Amino acid sequence: MAGGLKVGFVRLMHYLQDPQHVARFQQLCGVRGTDTRDKLSNGVPGTRHGDVQNGGGDTTRRRPAGAETDREKRNNSLANGAAGENIARDNGDDAQGSAVKPLRRNSLTGDVGQEFIIENKFLFYLFTLGTELGNELFYISFFPFFMWNVDAYVSRRLVVVWVWVMYLGQCTKDVIRWPRPASPPVVKVEMFYNSEYSMPSTHAMSGTAIPLCLFLLTYGRWEYPLLLGLSLAISWCVLVCLSRIYMGMHSILDIIAGFLYSLLIVVVFSPALEIIDTFNCTHRYAPLIIISLHVGLGLFSFTLDTWSTSRGDTAQILGSGAGIALASHVNYHLGLLPDPPASMLPLQPPSFTLGLIGLCLLRFLLGVLILLATRAVMKALTIPLVCWLFGIPSGDVRKARQHMEVELPYRYIVYGTVGLNALFLVPFLFAQVGLL
């Protein structure tokens, strides 16, 4: 009986991991590939550099950029020429005119990907929005906006959950080491994260944890309809999860695992949020422990695999979390962004007037400019300094950052400073000029 259940479970896992399901969903949504580079002239699938390959059940290391053999280059060149002829013959000029490439190249290999055709532009823009809800641009916009204009109390605790969810998700990827869905049959609508491992989907994890925790932390603290909050949280989660399948980045199994894994982390950490936030704000040794903990977690994650974008992202997330936790401590002792007394709860959302909207936008624009300037200045200072300290040539910045000695302190210091400035320096300056 137990053996039959185990076999059935394994079959279900293989079924959910099948890239054909991803390809069918893409076709249903109007995504059609034009790439024949992945097939040789005799119909045998070729190997695309930059993808994580899985042969015989064992996942191998990522192939470095430019690692194609001469034979592969000749085959790819022939296949590309055939692709152009086939597209022109089968699809006509109109189809050729609608063919596009992924918006961003692969962040590790520089691969720009192959052309594909979008037959439903509404779904393309919708799922592009959904996938951006799990990218750096969203995080550096959403969290500061919420801190400066809505509720610093909620944002502090939300960041704690986000850091743990993303950290555990990235580390789990580098332990399991499952490849991305195979292409073909999947169309790679996005290439940026294509060199990272696939299981679980950290987009699905953040797309589940952020809206869920946002609802749990605000409902009862703010007055709004229960159905509205639940609807927004569910819509957010579904949009992000489906967007990763649409982009060809994850299998259905990756998404389900990320969703369930995120729920588990939220259930475990939610009761501890009060303790963690109070410790960060009030304990005299909090700054030392915050720095030590986040550095230690970063060092551990850097031992899990060879260099990849996921390692840098993990250090970046830990640095941001450390900076915001340190800012919480500073703000508490300076009385900046104080939490409203319990007698004022639940809070009522203010009336949306042109003046309020203009003030929120002004805070956001000025604050983001400060954060972008902080990031630019710290990157310009930190990378050469760290390279000099460890004797690593800094001429090729991209190559230098692949050394752990450079990547960890660079990401940690830069984004730690950005996090500190987001919750402390920017509100402090706003208070000085009367914008709070």
Is the pLDDT at 370 greater than 60, yes or no?
Answer: yes
Per-residue pLDDT reduced to its tens digit, 190-201: 877 777 788 899
Contacts for 411 with CB less than 8 Å, ≥ 6 apart: 312, 315, 316, 319
Catalytic residue among 203, 283, 294, 333: 203
Is the pLDDT at 42 greater than 50, yes or no?
Answer: no
Residue 236 has a pLDDT of 94
Encoded tokens for 310: 């996921």
Structure confidence at residue 59 as a pLDDT band (50, 70, 90): very low
Contact 255, 245 (CB under 8 A): yes
| CA-closest candidate to residue 263, choices 220, 218, 204 | 204
Strand order in the sheet with 99-100: 31-33, 116-118, 99-100
More confident residue, 412 or 407: 412
Per-residue pLDDT reduced to its tens digit, 292-337: 998 888 777 776 666 666 777 888 889 999 999 999 999 998 888 8
d(CA 350, CA 143): 20
- Of all residues in the chain, the percent with pLDDT exceeding 70 is 78
Q: What is the overall mean pLDDT for the chain?
A: 79
Nearest-10 Cα torsion for 30, 34, 37, 39: 70
Is the pLDDT at 420 greater than 90, yes or no?
Answer: yes
Is the pLDDT at 154 greater than 60, yes or no?
Answer: yes
Contact 51, 180 (CB under 8 A): yes
Structure confidence at residue 67 as a pLDDT band (50, 70, 90): very low
SS3 385: helix
Per-residue pLDDT reduced to its tens digit, 157-213: 999 999 999 999 988 888 888 888 887 888 888 877 777 788 899 999 999 999 999
Structure confidence at residue 44 as a pLDDT band (50, 70, 90): very low
Is 250 annotated in the active site?
Answer: yes
- Of all residues in the chain, the percent with pLDDT exceeding 90 is 32
Residue 349 has a pLDDT of 85
State mean pLDDT over 272-284.
Answer: 91
Catalytic residue among 14, 21, 49, 250: 250
User: What are the distances in angstroms from CA 97 to CA 91, 92, 104, 331?
Assistant: 10, 9, 20, 55
Structure confidence at residue 237 as a pLDDT band (50, 70, 90): very high
State mean pLDDT over 18-31.
Answer: 87
Contact 175, 288 (CB under 8 A): no
Is the pLDDT at 18 greater than 70, yes or no?
Answer: yes
Is 203 annotated in the active site?
Answer: yes
